[in-house]
Structure 1
Amino acid sequence: MNRRSPVSDPDPVLITDSASLAALCARLREEPFVTVDTEFMRERTYWPELCVVQLGSERDVAVVDALAPELDLAPLGELLADPSVLKVFHAARQDVEIFLLRFGDTPRPMFDTQVAAMVAGFGDQASYDSLVRGLAGASIDKAHRFSDWAARPLSPAQIAYAAADVTHLRRVYLALKERLESENRLDWVAEEMGALTTPATYRTDPDTVWERLRPRTNNRRFLAALRAAAAWREREAQRVNVPRQRLVRDESLLEIAATMPQDAAALARARGVSEGFARGKSGAGLIAALAEARELPDDALPELPRERSGPNPSPALVALLKVLLAAKAEEHGVAAKLLANGEELDRLAAGESDGLSVLTGWRRRVFGEDALALRSGRLALGVQGKRVRLIPTGQDPR
């Protein structure tokens, strides 16, 4: 379908009824791509409350009032699932999580301009503001960034602010796409979208959330209590729809796991725990979870974190790998953070190879192969002018 680029952006339209949304989504399903953003509230809830969805194309810019009475969002779900329309986001994780909760699946196919900017050499975490300035030649009015998006009616200023996000995003996407096409890197971005479109990325297992607290102890009974308390907190926060930290803070959870209170009076003595909480339904549930953990047989207790087998990695080799990483990132104009993280460099230096993302796909071609060569002595690093030089040694690792 041939279309002339519009002289100016279309005026934003506020969508509050099902018929208008269905008509909009039908038009957008004829487009090659659509820009998407959301406004939501989460400060007082566990689950994000979707308030506004912004949708943009060459012909349409719409602000969908997701809280409008009796609005049927099903056409939006069908648009997001349409394999013929690319969905363009910036920093997509929170938006995608919301759509997964609402529609049961992630939008696909998808393009995240934050990831694309890292592939295109805009730094480790290019901000949306900087991309809009650099690629769209515009600036973002931040006055409504912290608006109460659940309040109604939406003001004209809020609508304009929300609409501008997807308008600018369209130009940012087109500029990044052109740049990545010229460098043959669109497939790199496509590889990165695999994790973002996988539903498991956004699902939290209550029985493993205790690991995020990184307890420093070898006491497996304590770890069992912490696992039980953290799992209870996650499920209870979901049930009553409050943030987990508002229900029980991390430091309180660690103290409760250490003391394993058996009644409400003992639970109330933990810092940050009120008498009302301890004697209420939530307190009773937490005490019951701890009681179950207390009765676990030894073979059911959590295992201690496994130490890396073999000697610790050489700090000097880790340092060399960091230099190589910086050199390859500079050579290819890609964010070093996207290529490899510190844990992967440590594992490489320790002789590990299995399960490292840096040794798969485009990362292996850009950095992984040379990292393996450096580790085995087949590659050395030198300096030529003002740049790091890679020097094949001809050494046979056998």
Structure 2
Amino acid sequence: MITQPIADERLQALTEAAANPEWVADDARLRALCEHWRTLSRVALDTEFQRVDTFYPIPGLIQVAAEGRCYLIDPLAINDFAPFSDLLRDTSVLKLLHACSEDLELFAHSYGATPTPLFDTQVACAFLDLGLSIGYQRLLDTLFSLPVDKQETRSDWLQRPLTEAQKHYAAVDVVYLEAIYQRLAPRLEEQGKWEWVMDECAQMAQAQADDRIDPDYYLKFKQAWKLRPEQLAVLKALCQWREEQARERDMPRNFLIKNNTLWSLAVRMPQTMRELSQAEQIRGRTLSQDGKTLLGLICSARDAAGDNAPEAPPRPLAASSGRQLKVLKSAVQDVAAQRGLAPELLARRRDLEDLLRIGSDDARFELPRGLRGWRESLVKEPLLKVLAEND
């Protein structure tokens, strides 16, 4: 464990900074601050947003902490975010965030940039075996015995003016990130894990920066392996259409059309509006607005499947593979324990299943994509050894 209290004076200073954040609501002040922040080695970032009936998060507040001070940027008042985007892209400034996947999405969509380089304190904790997805509140308690009030978690961040309680909550979410970083970074360096963390965080940022429509979303349907080629082609086409339309209309995927409905359409492959209306949980609005389009997609995908069938998802492993999976998981746990890592960070069950399939299908063993990168040097030898011994 690495629990120890922050020096009283440091804790007091951070607490005071959270209680007295600067409200930034004009372009000139934001530009001046961003120019200054770009001269620093690190800044801490966080966001508050609303996401109820939209595909993309709506920015409600951006928090920045630097040099022991806290700033609350009002995205509803700022017109020119170019200086802030430049800060996000500035590779000379390390950006500190916690559990930042949705923050990255907001930055990429709203401001056209993702924080580079990035240090996610939640990711770092997983590498130090403090938990795979430790929350900010628990982390502060673990490291500093510091209680944090989370009562404003579900606030309306688009209302103006924000309450003092909201401002304080938002400031607390960012102001201690520098102290957390200073506690975690030396341990990562000592244990030779710094580059692993930075690699993992860079992959997170790059994935969000790409923000491409996943052509293989249909493979997320667990029962898709049961479908015939033409049904699978329909499911793939419908998934892609929904993704494109959800983004274009800025609405959640399931608000547009539910997964159960997509599955029903793929299985039934309706040819008429009457047949389409019988699909599971299909909405009347969907029928009237998109019915003809859906029928056209279904017809085209079905007819084209013979010449260009999509990749079929893998079948579930045979029951006899359960023992091998158990042994592989044990090997991963051993490596994780030796290295002080959260086992789930090192290898997911799906990665181990993919490894078994590769060996079974090709009569040779190699690591699937999920086990490459920094993970490969740790798990390749022990996993392949287990597979060879249990062949």
| Shorter-chain TM band | 0.7 to 0.9
Q: Does 1:353 align with 2:366?
A: yes
Q: Does 1:327 align with 2:326?
A: no
Deviation at 1:27, TM superposition (A): 1.9
| CA distance in 2 between partners of 1:270 and 1:30 (Å) | 58
| Structure 2 CA distance for partners of 1:152 and 1:268, relative to 1, 3 Å | farther
Match of 1:84 among 81, 88, 92: 92
Match of 1:162 among 148, 162, 170: 170
| Structure 2 CA distance for partners of 1:229 and 1:333, relative to 1, 3 Å | same
Q: Does 1:269 align with 2:282?
A: no
Q: What residue ranges of structure 1 are gaps of 5+ in the alignment?
A: 381-396
Deviation at 1:345, TM superposition (A): 2.8
Correspondences of 1:209-358 after superposition (within 5 Å): 209-214=217-222, 215-280=224-289, 282-296=290-304, 298-305=306-313, 314-348=321-355, 350=359, 352-358=365-371
Deviations 1:183-204 (A, max 9, x none): 2321221221231121467624
| Structure 2 CA distance for partners of 1:352 and 1:323, relative to 1, 3 Å | same
Q: Does 1:369 align with 2:381?
A: yes
Deviation at 1:303, TM superposition (A): 3.5
Counterpart in the other structure of 1:208: 216
- Indicate the SS of the match to 2:55: coil
Match of 1:127 among 131, 135, 148: 135
- Indicate the SS of the match to 2:151: helix
| Structure 2 CA distance for partners of 1:256 and 1:366, relative to 1, 3 Å | closer
- Indicate the SS of the match to 2:304: coil
Name whichever of 297-306 and 79-88 sits farther off: 297-306
| CA distance in 2 between partners of 1:216 and 1:139 (Å) | 48
Correspondences of 1:58-207 after superposition (within 5 Å): 58-68=67-77, 70-199=78-207, 203-205=211-213, 207=215
Which fold has the larger relative contact order, with Cα–Cα distance below 8 Å and residues 6 or more apart in sequence? 2
| Structure 2 CA distance for partners of 1:293 and 1:25, relative to 1, 3 Å | same
Aligned pairs, number? 372
| Structure 2 CA distance for partners of 1:313 and 1:355, relative to 1, 3 Å | farther
- Indicate the SS of the match to 1:63: strand
In the alignment, is the contact (CA less than 8 A) between 1:35 and 1:166 conserved in 2? yes
| CA distance in 2 between partners of 1:60 and 1:237 (Å) | 39
Correspondences of 1:27-66 after superposition (within 5 Å): 27-66=36-75
AA in 2 matched with 1:102 = S
Deviations 1:245-268 (A, max 9, x none): 011111111112222333434323
In the alignment, is the contact (CA less than 8 A) between 2:119 and 2:197 conserved in 1? yes
| Structure 2 CA distance for partners of 1:278 and 1:218, relative to 1, 3 Å | closer
| Structure 2 CA distance for partners of 1:47 and 1:356, relative to 1, 3 Å | closer
Deviation at 1:25, TM superposition (A): 1.2
| CA distance in 2 between partners of 1:83 and 1:299 (Å) | 47
| CA distance in 2 between partners of 1:306 and 1:201 (Å) | 29
- Indicate the SS of the match to 1:197: helix
Deviation at 1:358, TM superposition (A): 3.4
The alignment's TM-score, normalised by the length of structure 2, stands at: 0.86
| CA distance in 1 between partners of 2:251 and 2:61 (Å) | 21
In the alignment, is the contact (CA less than 8 A) between 2:256 and 2:286 conserved in 1? no
Q: What residue ranges of structure 2 are gaps of 5+ in the alignment?
A: 1-8
**RMSD of aligned Cα (Å):** 2.7
| CA distance in 2 between partners of 1:34 and 1:278 (Å) | 49
| CA distance in 2 between partners of 1:340 and 1:217 (Å) | 27
In the alignment, is the contact (CA less than 8 A) between 2:61 and 2:73 conserved in 1? yes
Q: For the pair shown, which has the larger CA radius of gyration, 1 or 2?
A: 1
Identity percentage of aligned residues: 31
| CA distance in 1 between partners of 2:89 and 2:305 (Å) | 47
